[in-house]
Amino acid sequence: MKLKKVLVVHKKSTYQIQAEEHKESRFLKLIAEGNEVVNRVRLAHEEHVDTLARVEDELSSRGIAYQSLSRSQVAETVEDVDLLIAVGGDGTFLDASHALKDVPALGVNSSRSSSFGHFCMANRENFSSILDQIETEMISPLSILRLGITINGQPIKELVLNEVLVAHSSPAATSRYLIEVGEHKEEQRSSGIWVSTPAGSTGSLRSAGGNIMSLPERKFQYMVREACMRPGQSWQLLDGTLDENQSMRIVSEMRTGEVYIDGPHIIHTLTLGDELLIRPSAHNLRAFIHSSVNDVFLKAKH
């Protein structure tokens, strides 16, 4: 795979935003006091800046044309490049993935002191080696299942790489909805519903008690959070795994419900009677990720 043109998408660090751009007074005061938390934020910033510079220098040395953008500057759909390189952590990778249909992605963990980098095959030290393997086709992009969502029949443009949370807009309020999976339908009250891909099964779904899936699996999973069942009630649709030919339907009984896609930044509102349909998308994400990346969480359970 000859790389001729690359898009580099990078995050803005907390230090950059608060100290350098906004010059936030409390943040600057904590810096002056040598606060432990802020010192860690500054270290993460320095690591990130160094990693981004190394990525750009490596591309330049290879004669690869590139454009470097912060993730807020990325177009709705990225086309006409050979590779998207996300420099940051998993949040940067997730944000960048929403702009991709056919272009493959590579994640670079820019600050290993502060970021787990689950989706990041590369880092500051091995980036050059990973590029060699991509260009010589020693490694190939993995095809990763994503979910598509429609609200009242209208497709949502963002494809879900990790997870969907359907819940009330207030975390203290009860989420009310009808849930339908296959031939079963129930009216439920809970703290919301997680719906996860295999890629997202090591995140919030795992923390809520869900099952960890292998990254290449062609299934998705749902789990109801903190079901509010009255005495004598019994619900069938508290959790389950669906294959890539299935879908699930949720009808809002909330006046101010919300759908969160891959974290807190992408939110779509739900009101009374709004119908949400979730099913696997025909557009998988092509990404350079180790297929065994989820295995570390499986081992941790034993």
pLDDT attached to residue 94: 95
Average of per-residue pLDDT across 181-207: 95
Please check whether residues 136 and 15 belong to one and the same domain: yes
Report yes or no on 260 lying in a domain: yes
Give residue 112's pLDDT. 84
The boundaries of the domain holding residue 49 are 5-140
Structurally, the chain folds into a number of domains equal to 2
Residues 25 and 130 in one domain: yes
Least confident of 7-11, 170-174, 295-299: 295-299
Same domain, residue pair 156 and 59: no
pLDDT digits (tens, 9 = 90+) for 104-132: 999 999 988 888 889 999 999 999 999 99
| pLDDT higher than 60, residue 91 | yes
Of the listed ranges 88-97, 110-119, 265-274, the least confidently predicted one is 110-119
90 is catalytic: yes
What does the pLDDT read at residue 300? Answer: 59
CATH of the domain at 187: 2.60.200.30
Domain-located, residue 170: yes
- Asked if pLDDT for residue 302 goes beyond 60, the answer is no
Give the lowest-confidence range in 16-25, 65-74, 212-221.
Answer: 16-25
Identify the CA nearest to 266 among candidates 69, 98, 107, 89.
98
Q: Which of 57, 80, 82, 90 does the annotation list as catalytic?
A: 90
Evaluate whether residue 33 is within a structural domain: yes
Residues 215 and 276 in one domain: yes
| Position 72 in a domain | yes
Q: Are residues 153 and 261 in the same domain?
A: yes
Give the CATH number, domain containing residue 67.
3.40.50.10330
Q: Residue 293 falls within a domain, yes or no?
A: no
Q: pLDDT band for position 234 (50/70/90)?
A: very high
The model's confidence at residue 25, banded by pLDDT at 50, 70 and 90, is very high
